[in-house]
A and B are shown apart, each in its own frame.
Chain A
């Protein structure tokens, strides 16, 4: 997105609504990644006189950083113990890499097909688990209907990651969270597993209840 569209988008849309932000509307998002800064260098010169929001505390430009990963970390965290969440996730990534690397070494012929990058696999898994619709309970004439409603992209990502984590947490006590999470991510990345099935079930329910769809607005 070029910076002009960003500014225009900010200033025109929702101008009447007060957003929960310490920044006025005309502030633009910072660009944290160094390679992106270099990429958009000539555009950035136009930003000289436009105020920029401060970068977030957690944002970083290291090898260890990945947006999907950070998001999932927030969901894993319990009671603010994000250090623990980070070790758990990196253990899960390690397990994913181990299985994939072993698979790669055992694979005959086409070795490029096996992905050993755990972050790519996580992204694939999340993409495969994203629902398009969900059902909400709406009461009409004393009867509650399960009405299919579309959801935003952001919520679909949230649901996908939440489901992955719920599936990972549903385990025997002997199995560790990283182990189960690694299995679920690997399964989901290949379009199999319980989470993908859960998504399909939800879609099926939405399809079955499509006659109630109009209750959303009437």
Chain B
């Protein structure tokens, strides 16, 4: 009798599994028609309207917005690949992002800027949380000052040369120009609309200068065209942004991923006497340290500290105090720490159904979800790695 009951239970479970799979198959066709929406998706595509109702649900970033915000980086490479494969840019609404969004919405912008610091284990979704917040910023007329991955400058710069005028400093002209292109791509529409003007004249050389009262767009374009002066242009642009936002002419959202790279003991850049330089000897570091101070208003700072922004020997803990070091911690103090954690049960389940919906998981034996949960410890990146061969 017991055996029969067992067998019945197994059959029932299989039946339910098949049913759920068939509904998934139906859901795959749904977004194209725009009709029914599966339970793990939400139709609210404006991050400003996300609330606890949408937790663990996927929202789609429209293609043109994604192109505007993330064309120059900002999403992890493997996530970009996933987006390409699934032919839709979906982000899961998660608690850390909601927390930041709520703080930003309620914050009084006339007060000095608040620094939000994302921290957490490897692969928990700090960058994607930042992406979610960036999307909010882009839709709500924030000027984005976004560094997709700061350690790139310290670890693998395109070119390093001695800075003109500043003794012992090192310029990263190509990286600075690339960042300016990224800034222009993200903000060109808003910059054209706001018509922000520079406050003073910038003299680059004997023949070149940017007069006071020229638009920020002109300043940026000059930096892109004259790569030699890109680093100085970046510094000028950021100090202008600080002045303008303090004057109330614009709102600025600063988002720097891998912020602790600015406080790493050494970089992989060599100076003339074959010595590794420290990050504060790089001209590009200073403007971004400058804009993360709290001496300006009308802005928000979202920063993230990451273990993999450091190098071997400095990756023992993911805590901000350890990663930033004394100097960095004092620079940033006081900040709002936001812990990005592994998936909750609900989020995990939602992600699995998303993978099933996108035909990314093809094997569904009994209890596979439990196995994946156990193996990945509900860590988003680990889950991504585990399901790639399923």
A171 CA to B371 CA, complexed, in Å: 37
Query: Are the CB atoms of A90 and B360 closer together than 8 Å?
Result: no
Partner of B7, one of A38, A64, A118: A38
Query: Are the CB atoms of B7 and A97 closer together than 8 Å?
Result: no
Query: Are the CB atoms of A42 and B3 closer together than 8 Å?
Result: yes
B368 contacts which chain A residues (CB < 8 A)?
A: 63
Residue-wise interface mask of A (89-121) relative to B, using a CB-CB cutoff of 8 A (1 in contact, 0 not):
111011001100110110000010000111110
A117 CA to B368 CA, complexed, in Å: 15
Query: Are the CB atoms of B389 and A116 closer together than 8 Å?
Result: no
Q: How many residues of B contact A (CB 8 A)?
A: 25
Is A62 positioned at the interface, with any CB of B under 8 Å from its CB?
A: yes
Query: Are the CB atoms of B3 and A102 closer together than 8 Å?
Result: no
Closest to B88 in A: A105
Query: Are the CB atoms of A63 and B363 closer together than 8 Å?
Result: yes
Known: A41-B3, A63-B363, A63-B372. A93 touches B87 (CB 8 A): no
* B6, chain A: closest CB distance, angstroms: 7
Is B274 positioned at the interface, with any CB of A under 8 Å from its CB?
A: no
A102 CA to B363 CA, complexed, in Å: 18
Partner of B389, one of A94, A101, A105: A94
* A130, chain B: closest CB distance, angstroms: 23
B87 contacts which chain A residues (CB < 8 A)?
A: 102, 105
B388 contacts which chain A residues (CB < 8 A)?
A: 90-91, 93-94, 97
Closest to A114 in B: B359
* B172, chain A: closest CB distance, angstroms: 29
A172 contacts which chain B residues (CB < 8 A)?
A: none
A177 CA to B359 CA, complexed, in Å: 24
Partner of B6, one of A34, A38, A119, A120: A38
Query: Are the CB atoms of A101 and B372 closer together than 8 Å?
Result: no
Closest to A63 in B: B368
Query: Are the CB atoms of B362 and A102 closer together than 8 Å?
Result: no
Pick from B6, B85, B371, B372 the residue with the most CB of A within 10 Å.
Answer: B85
* A52, chain B: closest CB distance, angstroms: 21
Query: Are the CB atoms of A101 and B85 closer together than 8 Å?
Result: yes
Query: Are the CB atoms of B85 and A117 closer together than 8 Å?
Result: no
Is B331 positioned at the interface, with any CB of A under 8 Å from its CB?
A: no
Query: Are the CB atoms of B6 and A63 closer together than 8 Å?
Result: no
Closest to B388 in A: A94
Query: Are the CB atoms of A63 and B86 closer together than 8 Å?
Result: no
Partner of A98, one of B6, B10, B85, B362: B85
Residue-wise interface mask of A (170-189) relative to B, using a CB-CB cutoff of 8 A (1 in contact, 0 not):
00000000000000000000
User: Which residues, 369 to 385 on B, are CB-close (under 8 Å) to A?
Assistant: 371-372
Residue-wise interface mask of A (116-143) relative to B, using a CB-CB cutoff of 8 A (1 in contact, 0 not):
1111100000000000000000000000
Known: A64-B389, A90-B388, A94-B388. A117 touches B358 (CB 8 A): no
Closest 10 CB pairs of A and B: A90-B389, A117-B362, A93-B389, A94-B388, A63-B368, A116-B359, A105-B87, A98-B85, A101-B85, A63-B363
Supply 19 further A-B pairs (C-beta < 8 A) apart from A91-B388, A105-B87: A34-B366, A38-B6, A41-B3, A63-B365, A64-B389, A89-B389, A90-B388, A97-B360, A98-B85, A101-B358, A102-B84, A102-B87, A105-B86, A111-B28, A116-B359, A117-B363, A118-B362, A118-B389, A119-B362
Please list 20 pairs of residues, one from A and one from B, whose beta carbons are closer than 8 Å in the complex, sorted by A's number. A34-B366, A62-B371, A63-B368, A63-B372, A63-B390, A64-B386, A64-B390, A91-B388, A94-B388, A94-B389, A97-B85, A97-B362, A98-B81, A98-B85, A101-B358, A102-B87, A105-B87, A111-B28, A116-B360, A119-B362
